[in-house]
Structure 1
């Protein structure tokens, strides 16, 4: 009888543990351990890569995970995905670092789809080996949600995809008995800069229970959507026309515009092409080849002349709604941009910074760093080096 009772109690205790664990899982759907990377190997790669990372701070082995989690898109619950790099440590409490990637059009470029030996994956592992749980979301429209149109430069669904991955990873850490202090850092380049700032704004305005935002590091993003549009329209030649098409098609899909609006934004034959080229297969360069880099050839003259009037009023309103100028940061924000960037205009970042300061943001909270002579491509490396050094000093000053 005593043996049976003991077995029964053990079963009850096991069941209680299962129920308690299940109760913790609200966001996380699945987690797959892909690999474990050795800190020595990561440091060797980074030293050979030429990246100026603080190698003496890179001490933790790193587990590489793929996660699926619940998030919201247009009022419905969907499954999103991303990568997470978890440092291994005993009795440690790690902070979170989100790195939001730049603009991609092909699903093959999503973080969960790139090869394990890709340089990006190794850089993310390098960030984690400093003792940071590093999250890299696919974003809605890629990975596990590839059937959806990516909500490109649309504030709420982009921020939610980050917020909900943070919640899911917190649940994963609890399952794996990994400690965390709940502190969060946000980073990203190009579109990722916009995502970092949008997530910062979301957290300050709506809160995020169990987490504490410490700082964000947005770089080279288009934070003022009307400002981005004005820059596009002011160019005779714009070498990345797929950006203009991407924004228009993403807004059409998300807000439910009639297809006819696309024909009033783009001249034929490009209007019909825009409706079909963002299929998750075509890459950015392939889409550029299908469009035209002469702005007046690509864009309807009526839109160039009166972008806020008539049939364009609705998309203009949504540009304003998704611009990140209607708030004042109250947590540290470090803005970065190269002053030779002709892809995403440098002035968009500088004007955003000046707007924050003029609106009352504290100069000791919001800063702006210019990378002299850096364009959109060449600004990536100095950004990675600079923001990571600042972050490491904030996290664990010598």
Structure 2
């Protein structure tokens, strides 16, 4: 759910300048840390967007079906918070979107976006980048839109792509930071917490859900989670990729290997993984200035042509590439059972992240006794076409769970 906003962006720029000019207080709030761990660092207001502008924006960006749900003006903030990378504290960033003039306390909704290759696609580059998740705030949720580690303020770090621990903690820490900010700014919250994500965001959402449910010391409870088209079974994905003659998104394969090589300090030469000329191209392709299209067009679609022959053979050999295969096992979700109400959405014709990855984890969850998990196939849905039907289904679901109990 991410689009460049083009001409409509000028509407947002206009409101940014108008709202900034009308405020007497500084737009950036920096709250000193206290002896108790506080993950919040700062919040800079970027815009206050009226309801009618959001409706126009939604229509222009192809989200016209969401227009009836848009009920509130929304204040957009760039929030900086602390999290952990390789056991070291770092600063990370994301958008915080707050509905205006609500009379009832709001729930928190953390929304996780799909795979990004461009630094400029980070949500905090708003309004130049419009993720689409900003619209959730206009339906009455305090909405978080994380950049992820490796983007925004932390763009000098190579993104830990499909690493479960970093993926979960960076979301949990942003939620804690947002709750801290809301408390100090007297923003009323209820006790509901929703998690929603698609593609890599589906994976990151599941990682955050697992982190919260496995570690009650975080002091958080997931009300419900909706995860779409994420690579939850990485071992199954590996098997599928190594048996196909053509995979349309070799960028994903290279991204995972680059991520693990960096995150786990393997520091292996790229020629261990890739044939030339691809090994030589990859550092520049993944420097944050190239989009998915260029990267995919610069790499071989046939995994047997992309990968080093020895590496490719070892992927198929049960005794080969043990460190990588163990990392894929560790970063899959096959030995955990969700407790919170959970929906898995996936297009049945998805050729980027195969439907089987959702079917696989769903079957594992049910076999292990999960009672609150649904698999919702989107018939004929591709990776790009399945997000909209997912969101149209998710909104009324989480609204029903957010309704006050009489």
TM-score by length of 2: 0.86
For the 8 Å contact 2:31–2:41, the answer to whether it is kept is: no
- Alpha carbons of structure 1 residues 62 and 379: separation in structure 2 relative to 1, 3 Å: same
Residues 1:351 and 2:360 aligned together: yes
Deviation, structure 1 residue 24: 7.1
Q: Residue 53 of structure 1 is aligned with which of 61, 66, 71?
A: 66
Q: Residue 343 of structure 2 is aligned with which of 328, 334, 341?
A: 334
Separation in 1, partners of 2:341, 2:134? 25
Separation in 1, partners of 2:310, 2:223? 45
Separation in 1, partners of 2:146, 2:339? 25
Residues 1:227 and 2:236 aligned together: yes
Separation in 2, partners of 1:375, 1:242? 18
Q: Counterpart of 2:93?
A: 81
Q: Residue 81 of structure 2 is aligned with which of 69, 89, 95?
A: 69
Separation in 1, partners of 2:108, 2:75? 14
Q: Counterpart of 1:216?
A: 225
Separation in 2, partners of 1:148, 1:20? 26
Higher-helix-fraction structure? 1
Separation in 2, partners of 1:90, 1:247? 42
Q: Counterpart of 2:155?
A: 146
Residues 1:42 and 2:51 aligned together: no
After TM superposition, the structure 1 stretch with the greater mean CA deviation from structure 2, 166-175 or 24-33, is 24-33
Q: Residue 303 of structure 1 is aligned with which of 311, 317, 320?
A: 311
Q: Identify unmatched segments of 5+ residues in structure 2.
A: 1-29
- Alpha carbons of structure 1 residues 23 and 44: separation in structure 2 relative to 1, 3 Å: farther
Separation in 2, partners of 1:39, 1:297? 51
Separation in 1, partners of 2:197, 2:203? 8
Separation in 2, partners of 1:199, 1:73? 15
Q: Residue 32 of structure 1 is aligned with which of 44, 51, 56?
A: 44
SS of residue paired to 1:212: coil
SS of residue paired to 2:223: strand
Separation in 2, partners of 1:146, 1:19? 24
- Alpha carbons of structure 1 residues 287 and 173: separation in structure 2 relative to 1, 3 Å: same
- Alpha carbons of structure 1 residues 265 and 194: separation in structure 2 relative to 1, 3 Å: same
Q: Residue 377 of structure 1 is aligned with which of 377, 384, 388?
A: 384
For the 8 Å contact 1:265–1:299, the answer to whether it is kept is: yes
Q: Counterpart of 2:212?
A: 203
Separation in 2, partners of 1:88, 1:245? 42
For the 8 Å contact 1:42–1:125, the answer to whether it is kept is: no
Separation in 1, partners of 2:66, 2:329? 38
Equivalenced residues, count: 374
Q: Counterpart of 2:124?
A: 112
Instruction: Give RMSD over aligned pairs.
Output: 2.3
Residues 1:368 and 2:375 aligned together: yes
For the 8 Å contact 2:350–2:383, the answer to whether it is kept is: yes
Deviation, structure 1 residue 393: 1.9
Cα deviation 1:258-282 (Å, max 9, x = unaligned): 323x323211222233344321222
Deviation, structure 1 residue 39: 2.1
For the 8 Å contact 1:97–1:135, the answer to whether it is kept is: yes
Deviation, structure 1 residue 38: 1.4
Q: Counterpart of 1:95?
A: 107
Q: Counterpart of 2:248?
A: 239
SS of residue paired to 2:334: coil
After TM superposition, the structure 1 stretch with the greater mean CA deviation from structure 2, 205-214 or 234-243, is 205-214
Q: Counterpart of 1:314?
A: 323
- Alpha carbons of structure 1 residues 332 and 259: separation in structure 2 relative to 1, 3 Å: same
For the 8 Å contact 2:43–2:79, the answer to whether it is kept is: yes
For the 8 Å contact 1:335–1:349, the answer to whether it is kept is: yes
- Alpha carbons of structure 1 residues 367 and 161: separation in structure 2 relative to 1, 3 Å: same
Q: Identify unmatched segments of 5+ residues in structure 1.
A: 1-17
CA radius of gyration, larger in: 1
TM-score by length of 1: 0.88
Separation in 2, partners of 1:19, 1:171? 10
Separation in 1, partners of 2:283, 2:145? 29
For the 8 Å contact 1:24–1:171, the answer to whether it is kept is: no
- Alpha carbons of structure 1 residues 275 and 259: separation in structure 2 relative to 1, 3 Å: farther
